[in-house]
Amino acid sequence: MADALTLPDWLRTTGAQPHGAHRRALRDDSGELTFAGLADAMDTVATGLRDAGLEPGDRVVTAMEPSIPHTVVILGALAAGLVAAPLNARLTGTEARSYLTALRPRLVVADPAHAPLAHETGHRVVELPAAAEPAPVAHRTAPLSGDRRPLPPLAEDDLAVVFATGGTTGTPKGAYHTHRSLWLWLNTCAHGNPRTPADIELFFSPFFHITLGTNLLAPLLAGGEVWIQRRFDAGAALAAIDEGASRLMGAPTMFTALRAHPSFATARRENVTAIRFGSAPSTDGFVRGLLHDFPRARIRAGFGATEFGSVLGFDHEDLLAGRFTGVGRPLPGARVRILGADGNEVPAGAVGDLVIDCPWRTRGYYGLPEETRETFRADGVHIGDRASRTEDGWVFIAGRKKEMITSGGENVYPREVEEVVLSHPHVADAVVYGLPDERWGERVEVAVVAAGGTTVELAELRAFCRTDLAGYKIPKTLRLLDAIPLTANNKPDRRAVRAAALADLPQRTDPAGTRAAPGTSTAARTAEGPGA
């Protein structure tokens, strides 16, 4: 009988091939593993987890930095029939306990960097004290390195992994994959953004984000190599590129940071053959910059969510044809619909609810049946995004329902406004949000980082926006920031910027209009504009 569609079975098969003993699968700051070594370490840790008293279906939370041991613990949990759940290490202890209430984990595995948070969860903790040491993987994963022995076979419909949603409106929810849906998702990633065994993927994202699948597990499924960095650092990333890393994925802010680093000019960027970006709106200037800076790279952009992974994208040829905005077309196998309030598809150009269905979507929110029924419906997954499409099927994301601004009775979606503002030649970065307003109910405000050597004035920005935005969508107030804070996923942190603006509201009577934004290291200036 053929093996089931599970990632552990696939990795064992790859490790058993003649090349598995010498072809490198993973490298981090403290060591490396071949495919054969990865399969062996995975099964060894799987045995150690079972010896620790865990039974199939138990949830194993990981509170660790990105590393080889973290990868091995996640794969070992899958191989043991357990459910892996990487934890957002930026959560406070209170937030982590709230998130884990639904998951009810049997064990939290932690490295020294995150052991304090792990203990704050109130659950049983196993620490890996040598996780970051330059030592063999068995030492780095001790005390979970058990004596390897045969493990019971996995079923495709067994639960495999839980990814936390962004939690933009409160406690994150845990969206879970079965072994089958995980394998189908990784396979889609591997073929939708083609890889070869000669590729070297540079990974610098947190493991709780779905980039764990798209950037680490999918390359391993395809037989490629992954270099893991603990966090994004422009200098370290450029050093890896200079050494031979050939594939990059990240938010536009990361590529902007690479370009601004002193070693950018001397790094051997011709090593890079593939780039994928997403997470935030892009501009034609940003894309043209990528095409210039990485001349040998095929560049793609994509759109996805924790609940369904990657479902939309556009290719290098689209960029060469000058199509830079929006999120592209549905990937093969993804059914994308945009529905009105009556449940019917809206015409081209109209904004409606984005509904996604695909074989690789997650199956629900763990331990949250009501939220699962609300989001995972018979016609697809409803995550609250609003979108439109052109006659030829090109999709644009307007924004999330919960981020929608109601100004003067009209609905405004921040992302739609951001895409226009970002096209201004003097704007390097921007975030749009709503603030309370006595006249309008809410007003549209934009926080802007000016491009080097320039400034941005509200009146001129409003005039610029009038070409592409209705009057009620045009920002009524402007804050100038030195930098926009980022979330753990390196996306612009809209909530943090809005919170700082709210905290600044009582100070708006200051004639100078200048005040440090609370909670950030940036200076903010606010200018008031006339009503739309």
According to CATH, the topology of domain 1-181 is: Rossmann fold (3.40.50)
Contacts for 324 with CB less than 8 Å, ≥ 6 apart: 282, 283, 284, 286, 287
Residue 34 gets which letter from DSSP? Answer: E
Task: Show Cβ contacts of residue 321 under 8 Å, excluding neighbours closer than 6 positions.
Answer: none
Beta partners for 60? Answer: 84, 107
Buried b (16+ CB within 10 A) or exposed e, 475-502: bbbbbbbeebbbbbbbbbbbbbbbbbbe
What are the boundaries of each domain within the chain? Answer: 1-181, 404-528
Under 8 Å CB-to-CB from 454, ≥6 apart: which residues? 425, 426
Total residues belonging to the chain:
532
pTM equals 0.83
Separation between Cα atoms, residue 508 and residue 502, nearest integer Å: 10
Give the span between the Cα atoms of 428 and 451, in whole angstroms.
5
Tens digits of pLDDT across the chain (532 residues): 356 889 999 999 999 998 878 899 999 999 999 999 999 999 999 999 999 999 999 999 999 999 999 999 999 999 999 999 999 988 889 889 999 999 999 999 999 999 999 999 999 999 999 999 999 999 999 999 878 788 889 999 999 999 998 754 467 899 999 999 999 999 999 887 788 888 999 999 899 988 999 999 999 999 999 999 999 999 999 999 999 999 999 888 788 889 999 999 999 999 999 999 876 666 677 888 899 999 999 999 888 899 999 899 988 999 888 888 888 999 999 999 999 999 999 999 999 999 999 999 999 999 999 999 999 999 999 988 899 999 999 999 887 777 888 888 777 888 889 989 999 999 999 999 999 888 888 899 999 999 888 999 999 999 999 988 888 899 999 999 999 988 766 678 888 899 899 888 865 433 333 333 333 334 444 555 544 5
Structure tokens at 134: 């330059």
In angstroms, rounded to a whole number, what is the distance separating the alpha carbons of residues 88 and 274? 28
**CATH fold of the domain at 404-528:** GMP Synthetase; Chain A, domain 3 (3.30.300)
Q: What's the DSSP call for residue 405?
A: E
CB atoms within 10 A of CB 359: 13
In sequence order, the β-bridge partners of residue 107 are 60
Asked if 72 contacts 80 with a C-beta cutoff of 8 angstroms, the reply is no
